């Protein structure tokens, strides 16, 4: 249930291993789109896999929950859990999905297993999903139906590859529900990945803690890189040195403009709200969120310094609007605060992204700001710009040579690389006024 990133990609991963999957969504246009082989979002490899599995007959899509439940053994709940005002996950869609599951299960004469993949904070399954299914079905778990938690760890941009080869598969199983455990272990056997079986709440907390620790790592890397740039050290080299310690590892230490996306900021806020509900102070997730708010301003400081201390009347190219490369997703993108700060300081901002331009226009509109100047052509954006900020490390940008990058720009032709897309030493050797996150000034 749910044909967003998690739902559709999970479906394709199961099809890959020969399982038959019916995608259910309450939005008819989405079902129609999936049935016609059109993914509702851009994600590498998804369109091809969708065409393949529709063609082989392993995948279909419907709005009819009861029909889908009647012809399957397991339902994965993959509906969105947006943030509430206090940062906690809004479980409205999940509760509604669980109720419709309960109604579908009520008339079944077979056992059905319901598995929550949607990201939630601990106890959501036991306190929201379970009672919703129980009340609507008139049946009790685990005798009448089963409920399990199976969080998803896929990343946008490599979603299908991640879903096919996750580092681990986490199964939260209710006490004594051996049938649910056996069914899920069998389902995942062809994936041949490490499997961890926990309580419902254990699985819920693993997802939240994993995302939060990754985000905290990024925030810490940003602080270290900022420090390095204030002395004669290259923050990227420093973090490489840190990451070479096998106890720390090299991953998620890429300093930049901060983290965005649908998981990290929301997950940290949800962890803060959940911790406080338990009387815990949530010091680390709060600090990571604070650091992430500061980091776009640190990048704008670099632009100001590169433009002699004043952005008034300057033309700035903003390259990369998506929250990361290989996606058209702009949720919580750091491009938005950078864009706003540049405008506030009087700059004219011209934007570019290979995929996310129209989504960024919509995001800016939702903020109540004037229509942003988003151009299709990279050359148009760079032409006459005094500075260019690289906010998303798209491969398309990485392939640009120093001359292509700056030849049409206007003095001082400064490049502010918020993601270290380019090799700074190569850029500086080629005469480019190159400023980068974690680097001392040129």
Q: Which residues bind ligand UDX (CB under 6 A)?
A: 152-156, 211, 214, 218, 252-254, 256, 259-261, 263-264, 323-324
For the chain, how are helix, strand and coil distributed in percent, rounded to 5?
45, 10, 40
Task: Tell the smallest beta-carbon distance from residue 203 to ligand UDX (Å).
Answer: 14
What six digits make up the tokens of 368? 């109540």
Task: Tell the smallest beta-carbon distance from residue 239 to ligand UDX (Å).
Answer: 9
CA-to-CA distance for 106 and 232, rounded, in angstroms? 68
Task: Tell the smallest beta-carbon distance from residue 117 to ligand UDX (Å).
Answer: 10
163, 13 in Cβ contact below 8 A?
Answer: yes
Task: Tell the smallest beta-carbon distance from residue 90 to ligand UDX (Å).
Answer: 18
Task: Tell the smallest beta-carbon distance from residue 248 to ligand UDX (Å).
Answer: 13
Number of Cβ within 10 Å of residue 45's Cβ equals 14
Q: Which one of the listed residues 23, 78, 263, 351 is annotated catalytic?
A: 263
Whether a cis peptide bond, with omega within 30° of 0, leads into 242 is no
> Parallel, antiparallel, or unpaired: how do β-strands 169-173 and 146-149 relate?
antiparallel
Got the DSSP string for 279-307? T---HHHHHHHHHHHHHHHHHHHHHHHHT
Q: Which residue has the tokens 């009347």?
A: 313
Number of Cβ within 10 Å of residue 404's Cβ equals 12
**Residue number with CB closer to ligand UDX (102 or 357):** 357
CA-to-CA distance for 92 and 90, rounded, in angstroms? 6
**Residue number with CB closer to ligand UDX (305 or 331):** 331
**Residue number with CB closer to ligand UDX (55 or 250):** 250
CA-to-CA distance for 172 and 280, rounded, in angstroms? 24
**Residue number with CB closer to ligand UDX (250 or 431):** 250
CA-to-CA distance for 352 and 335, rounded, in angstroms? 11
**Residue number with CB closer to ligand UDX (263 or 356):** 263
Active site residue 351: no
Number of Cβ within 10 Å of residue 273's Cβ equals 18
Write down the H helix ranges in 231-263: 235-243
**Residue number with CB closer to ligand UDX (37 or 252):** 252
Task: Tell the smallest beta-carbon distance from residue 26 to ligand UDX (Å).
Answer: 23
Task: Tell the smallest beta-carbon distance from residue 299 to ligand UDX (Å).
Answer: 12
Give me the residue whose beta carbon is nearest to ligand UDX. 263
How would you write 125-173 as a 3-class SS string? HHHHHHHHHHHHHCCCCCCCCEEEECCCCCCCCCHHHHHHCCCCEEEEE
- Give the dihedral of Cα atoms 320, 321, 322, 325; nearest 10 deg: 0
**Residue number with CB closer to ligand UDX (320 or 372):** 320
Residues annotated as catalytic (active site), given as ranges: 263
């Amino acid at each position: 249930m749910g044909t967003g990133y998690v739902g559709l990609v999970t479906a394709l991963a199961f099809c890959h291993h020969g399982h038959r999957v019916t995608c259910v969504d309450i939005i008819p246009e989405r079902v129609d789109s999936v049935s016609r082989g059109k993914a509702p979002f851009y994600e590498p490899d998804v369109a091809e896999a969708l065409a393949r599995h529709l063609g082989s007959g392993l995948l279909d899509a419907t709005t009819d929950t009861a029909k889908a439940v009647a012809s399957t053994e397991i339902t994965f709940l993959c509906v969105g859990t947006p943030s509430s005002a206090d940062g906690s996950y809004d479980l409205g869609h999940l509760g509604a999905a669980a109720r419709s599951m309960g109604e579908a299960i009520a008339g079944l004469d077979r056992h059905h297993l319901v598995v929550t993949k949607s990201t939630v904070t601990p106890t959501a399954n036991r306190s929201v999903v379970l009672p919703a299914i129980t009340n609507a079905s008139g049946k009790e778990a685990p005798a009448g139906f089963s409920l399990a938690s199976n969080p998803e760890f896929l990343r946008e941009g490599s979603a299908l590859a991640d879903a096919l080869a996750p580092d681990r598969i986490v199964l939260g199983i209710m006490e004594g529900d051996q049938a649910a455990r056996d069914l899920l272990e069998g389902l995942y056997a062809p994936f041949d990945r490490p499997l961890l079986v926990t309580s419902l709440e254990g699985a819920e907390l693993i997802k939240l803690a994993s995302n939060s620790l990754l985000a905290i790592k990024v925030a810490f890397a940003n602080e270290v890189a900022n420090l390095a740039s204030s002395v004669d050290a290259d923050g990227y080299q420093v973090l490489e040195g840190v990451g070479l310690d096998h106890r720390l590892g090299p991953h998620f230490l890429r300093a930049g403009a901060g983290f965005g996306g649908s998981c990290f900021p929301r997950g940290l806020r949800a962890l803060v709200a959940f911790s406080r509900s338990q009387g815990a102070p949530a010091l680390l997730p709060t600090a990571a969120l604070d650091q992430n708010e500061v980091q776009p301003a640190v990048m704008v400081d670099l632009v100001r310094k590169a433009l002699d201390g004043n952005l008034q009347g300057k033309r700035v190219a903003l390259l990369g609007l998506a929250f990361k490369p290989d996606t058209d997703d702009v949720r919580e993108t750091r491009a938005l605060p950078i864009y706003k700060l540049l405008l506030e300081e009087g700059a004219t901002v011209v934007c570019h992204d290979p995929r996310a331009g129209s989504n960024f226009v919509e995001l800016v509109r939702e903020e109540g700001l004037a229509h942003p100047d988003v151009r299709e052509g990279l050359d148009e954006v760079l032409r006459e710009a005094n500075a260019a900020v690289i906010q998303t490390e798209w491969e398309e940008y990485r392939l640009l040579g120093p001359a292509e990058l700056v030849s049409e720009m206007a003095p001082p032709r400064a490049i502010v690389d918020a993601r270290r897309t380019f090799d700074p030493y190569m850029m500086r050797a080629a005469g480019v006024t190159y400023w980068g996150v974690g680097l001392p000034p040129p």
